[in-house]
Structure formats: structure tokens, C-alpha cells
Amino acid sequence: MTNARVVIGLGITAGAIIIGSWTFVDLRTNGEDAATIAAGRTIYGDHCAACHGVQLEGQPDWKTPLPSGRLPAPPHDASGHTWHHADEMLFRIVKEGTAAVVGGNYESDMPGFGDTLGDAEIRAVLAFIKSTWPERERGFQEEVSRRR
């Protein structure tokens, strides 16, 4: 009887750990799997980090226009504003470029990557970026995306 209780107890504990880890993964990554996030990290490093920073920190003084009148690349960490935008908007900015999305003759150094990256690759980059945000920012961004 004692061995059966130990086995049952271990089974319940293992189940709780598995369920708890699923919940953590869903909260931390919007349900994206680790492979997608890892791919996004690599793609980000190859195509985004040169402007937006290896640590997603953006360019210095990113709110102050450059001599060209264009804004520096913003951070994608919690100190920036990326998390204020819905998924659809973020996807379009990466695919089409900021100027194409904003319109009205807006000029930006952010190119569109639609000719370079496929839709799944763009989504992977966004999954990676979102996986780095604290819970408050992730929750806000999820809510903004739900409303769109």
C-alpha cells in the first residue's frame, strides 16, 4: 500500500508540474513553441539586430529625429512602444515597412521584409520579441490584438 501511495503521489506531482509548465509557456510566449521562438531569435539576429539592437534596446535617442528627419530604430523591449501595437500592425510593419503602413508620405528607415522573409519567419521574429516582454506588456499587447 505504501508503494502505491508513493507512485500515485509522484504521478500527481508530475502531472501538476507538466500542467504548470504548460501554463507558464502559454503566458510567457502567447502559446508559441520553443522552436518558433528560437527560430525567431536567429532571424532577428540576422535581419533586425543591426538596427534594433542585439538586446532589443533600439538606437540611442530613438524618440529624437535624426538630421534626415526620420526617427532612429526603436527598442523592441519593454522600454519601447512595440507592445502597444496589435499583432496585425506589427506583422504589416515588418512585411511592408513602416512608411507603407503609416502612409501620408511618412518617411522611415524601416524597410519592408516581405521580399526577404516569409510570413512564418515574420511571425517567428514577433514571437521571439514578445517572449522577452514582462507579463504586463504581454497582457496589454494581447488585449490590443484581441480588440482588432
pTM exceeds cut of 0.85: no
Are residues 40 and 96 located together in one domain of the fold?
yes
- Tell me, what's the pLDDT at 138? 96
Q: Give the residue numbers spanning the domain of 16.
A: 1-31
Are residues 1 and 65 located together in one domain of the fold?
no
Are residues 58 and 113 located together in one domain of the fold?
yes
- Tell me, what's the pLDDT at 22? 37
Are residues 43 and 115 located together in one domain of the fold?
yes
Cell output for 21: 509548465
Classify 68 as helix, strand or coil: coil
**Distance between CA atoms of 60 and 73, rounded to whole angstroms?**
8
**Tens-level pLDDT at each residue, the chain (148 residues):** 555 554 454 445 444 444 443 333 333 445 679 999 999 999 999 999 999 999 999 999 999 999 999 999 999 999 999 999 999 999 999 999 999 999 999 999 999 999 999 999 999 999 999 999 999 999 999 999 999 7
**How many domains does the chain contain in total?**
2
Amino acid letter for position 73: A
Element (H, E) at 132: none
For 92-110, the pLDDT digits (tens) are 999 999 999 999 999 999 9
Q: Which residues contact 70 (CB under 8 A, 6 or more apart)?
A: 107, 108, 109
